Structures are given as C-alpha cells and as structure tokens.
A and B are shown apart, each in its own frame.
Chain A
Amino acid sequence: MDIKAYIESGILELYVAGALSEKENKEVYNLMLQYPEILQEVLDIEAAVIKLTASVSPVKNNEKTLQAIKSHLDLKDKNVKVVKMPRYNWVTYTGWAASVLLTIGLFWTLKQNNKLESEIQIANTQQQLLETQIANSKNSLEEANTLISVLRDNNITKVPLTGQGNFSNTYANVYWDKESNRIFLDAQGLPEPPEGKVYQVWSLTLNPLTPTSLGTIDNFISDNNKIFEIENSNNSEAFGITLEPAGGSETPTMEFLYTLGVVNLG
C-alpha cells in the first residue's frame, strides 16, 4: 500500500472532521494501528483543527463552565462546595435549630404531661377523700334524721340524767323508745373516760334497787356526736352511768356514778 498517496488523498483530514462513513472510519483506524506515519498524520491534523476551532472561542480556559458541569453531574469538588456552602449552611443550621427546638419542645411537653398526670392523681385522691366525706356525711345525715324522727316520736320518753356527787357538772339524756326496745343515749355532757376505763350504762328498778347492765360504751372517744343506740328490753325505772374498768363490771361502782335519772312515768 502506498502510504504517502493515501495520506496525500486528504482522507485523513475528512476522518478528523468526522465526514467519513462508518466503514471508512474503521478502515482508517486499522491503518493507523498498522502504520505509525498515518497515526502521526492524524494527530497533526487533529492538533491543527483543535487550534483552528479554539481560535474562534470567545472564552479561554473556561473553568466556570467546568465547575457548573461538575456540579450538575454531582461530582465532588471543593470549589463547587465553596460556592454551595452558604445555602448549605443556612439550611443545615435552620435544620439543627429546628430539631433542637423540637427536642426542647418534646421535653417540655413530656414534663407538662408528667405534671398534669400527677395533678390528675392528686385530684383523684382528693375526689376519693371528698367521696368518703360525702358518704360519711350521708351516714351522719341518716343518723341525724333517725335521731330527729326519734325525738319527734310521741312514744319516746326523755329521761334527763343529772350529775351525781363529785360529777355534778356532768349530764346526759336518755331517749327511750319503748316500742322498739331501744334507748338513745346522748352522752355529750360526759368527759372522755381515762385510759383503761369505760362508761357502763345501767337500767335500774327502784323497789328494790336492782341494776341491770345495758353494756359499756367502748367507742365513746371515737364517736362524733356522742349519741349511742343501745338495746333495752327492761322495765326501767331509772338509768345510770358509771365509770368502770375496761370490759365493764357485774355491778355498778357507786363511787364512780356519774349521772343518774329517774323515768318520769307520769
């Protein structure tokens, strides 16, 4: 093959221009691999064309465009990052600030929640207390109503018990409901019994004088209104209250007879 004639034909200039067919391109490529002179000729033509076309360019060493391209392709580059930094920082800082605020907000909400929950617990306890009080009040009211109905009952006999001897400043009242075989003892006028002692209530017949125990008042201190309902089926002529050792006595200790009252049968 006549290499010189081939080169002189001008086909290599067209090859660089991209003006040949695919088949011709392949042919030139193979010849380049085979003949270094052909390769060198192509390189020279290419270099000249690059200079020719570059001479028309309005911009030299266009780094700005390279950065734009790389940034578009998302290639890592320090310069590109520097350009992006301000926006990046703004967004980042805002993001961090938002997350910090959110965290603080969450903690605050959590704290508020705990506080509210404990307040609810306190309120619940208070409600329970109030309910208990209401229940107690209802009981008290029922008791009071019972007492009122008793007091208003015509069949009730009132027996005032007056202070005796050393205990003349004490008093009590017995309301005797004969039909129901019970008495209501109002012991408001008695002092609290000392430790180890209890009041014992007696039903008495006078001729002969016979005391019958109606029982001890064991809950004297804890009872609020000091009114005690006591069974009494006796044919009582008088009622007396003595102070006795805890557990009560067989017979009244007369030295500690606090109050006594005779039933007015008239």
Chain B
Amino acid sequence: MNLDTLIEKFKQKDEKAFEKLYHMYSESMQGVIFNIVRDIDIAEEVMQDVFIKAWHNADSYSSEKGRFFTWILNIARHAAIDKTRSKAFKKSKQNLNANFFVDILETKDNLDRSTDAIGIKAFVKKLGEQCKAVLELLYFKGYTQVEASETLNMPLGTIKTRNRNCIQELRNMVLK
C-alpha cells in the first residue's frame, strides 16, 4: 500500500492504517519528544497524547500543506514543548535548553543496537558544532528558517545550505 492511500485510509479512521503509520513514525517521534523532555515516562505520556491527537485531528491533515511526517512531527514537537512549559515539569526539570540531541547519542551506551545508530553516531562525531545546532533547531525543536537564522546569528542562505550539507552527509551514512 503506498503512503498516500495509507494516509487517506487513516483520515477515514481506519485502525489498520493508523497502526501502520504508528509503526512508521513512532520511534522517530519518541526520539524528538525524548530529546525535548529528557524523561522516559514523560516522553511516553506525550507520545500517547500525540497519536491520540493525530487520530482525532486526522481530518485536518492535507498533503498540500506538507508531508504527513512533518505534520505529525509538528504535533510531537508542540506537545513536548507544551509539556516542558507546565508548572509540574518546570519544578522537576531544570536547564534543558543547553542539551542537544547529540548529547543523547554521545552518552548512550547501547547505540550499537543497529547499523543505523552506529552510522549516526559516527556521523554525529564528525559534525561541526554549527551543524549540530542547525539540525537540533530545525528538526528536533521545530524552529522556522528565520527563527533558526536569528538564534544562530547566521544568514538565511547559510542556514539553508549548511542544513542541506548536513542532511546530505547523513543520507550518505544511513541510506546507502
């Protein structure tokens, strides 16, 4: 079944389609959420909220507006960031802003679980600080091009090309 058909079925509240999409994207969403909240249990909770929200708002997705992955990625990033803004969360967790996704990869011991992870770890090792920051802000945090440019004090064009190069490198590692 191709992705468009799958998404169409999901929009019609097809349970099987929902499961397939979950299997395609849940791990990725879990990574994004965990990188923001840095707590397995809270990440779990946010994950549930994200897919429940996706199910209820399936109608609002349209392929013209963007990729389905991007749509659910947006839901996940917003839900996770909302969580970090809650009072209870703020009390228990401090100073998360300094952490990048690369920290998780660098400190994780069990990264040899898959060749992808090994590739990514190697890729991360080679990354320059600016590249890490760009990937972090654009994919993990959901910054717009302009926001990223302002945050990193970098011209828009530079963000674009740097990001392009970083992704190219990643593709070489994991897709070939």
Contact = CB atoms under 8 A, between A and B. Distances in A.
A98 B143 CA distance: 59
Given A19-B145, A25-B66, A49 B34 contact: no
Contacts of A62: 26-27, 30, 44, 47
A55 B105 contact: yes
Contacts of B121: 55
A63 to B, nearest CB: 9
Interface string B122-152: 0000000000000100111011110010000
Interface string A66-90: 1011101101100000000000000
Interface residues of B, number: 61
B32 A46 contact: no
Interface string A249-266: 000000000000000000
B129 to A, nearest CB: 17
A14 B142 CA distance: 10
Nearest to B70: A18
Interface string A7-51: 011110111111110100110010000000000001011111111
B67 A42 contact: yes
B120 interface: yes
A10 B148 CA distance: 14
Contacts of B48: 65, 68-69, 72
Interface of A: 8-11, 13-20, 22, 25-26, 29, 42, 44-62, 65-66, 68-70, 72-73, 75-76
